[in-house]
Amino acid sequence: MMMENMTWDEFEEVKKKADTVIIPVGSIEAHGKHLPLNTDVLAPVEISKLVERKLNEMGRDILIAPPINYGHTFVLNVYPGTINVKAETLRAYVRDIIEEFAQEGFKKIVLMNGHGGNVYPLIEAAEESVEKYNVEVWLINWWIDFREDILNICTSQGHAGEDETSVIMAIKPELVKMEKAVGEKRKYEVRKIRKDVGLELFPNGVNDDPRGATKEKGEAILEVVSEKIARLLGV
């Protein structure tokens, strides 16, 4: 059930049936010249919808909250179209949202994250909230938590890479410009924090070779990830 389409009295009814809410969290940022700026929003929103469908089949109801579009994205901020929210701002903002849902009576809050830079602020937001409220927060980072499954489908994964490009081809193929898809895997031995490090680490906003991406791989990733999350939530 999509919260954004409900009236307040419908929402009140949903609370009687669902004790879990999924909040998709994304980022507006450069994803190469072949993927849209809201790639990290599209993926977690789609995964959330698939999880809901599977839970419904198990006879379970769940609420999907409107997504948090903007995230913390320091490294990619060297590219136009990246809108970076400072880590402390995101932490406080997400904490307030978690606490509002806790006050509404939800017992489990799932942060369905689509972006690496959000991980630490989201953990901190959750830690602050659970200190105050009797609520459990799950942080799901689909490309990390299900990496093994993804690497059974793709030969590599990375920012705007084979896995992410495949997923967007499955969700919104009309937004993918495969003729512009190029890139390679780049890694540092240690984490270097420098204002323009994104130019080196993510040339053109890519860190992986996206050219092996296909719609079928994306569908397979979405299926395995959503199936596993639904099972975890269904018990």
Q: Which residues bind Zn ion (CB under 5 A)?
A: 39-40
Residue (29 or 99) nearer to Zn ion, CB: 29
Q: What span, in angstroms and rounded, lies between the C-alpha atoms of 111 and 132? A: 18
Residue (39 or 113) nearer to Zn ion, CB: 39
Residue (40 or 99) nearer to Zn ion, CB: 40
Q: At its nearest, how many Å lie between Zn ion and the CB of residue 25?
A: 12
Q: At its nearest, how many Å lie between Zn ion and the CB of residue 202?
A: 10
Q: Computed from CA positions of residues 144, 145, 147, 153, in that sequence, does the dihedral angle turn out positive or negative?
A: negative
Instruction: Sort 8 into a burial class: Cβ within 10 Å, 0-12 / 13-18 / 19+.
Output: exposed
Q: At its nearest, how many Å lie between Zn ion and the CB of residue 43?
A: 7
Residue (40 or 209) nearer to Zn ion, CB: 40
Q: What span, in angstroms and rounded, lies between the C-alpha atoms of 69 and 25? A: 6
In the structure encoding, which two tokens stand for residue 167, read together?
A: 């997923």
Which residue's entry shows tokens 């419904």? 56
Q: At its nearest, how many Å lie between Zn ion and the CB of residue 163?
A: 10
Nearest residue to Zn ion, using CB? 40
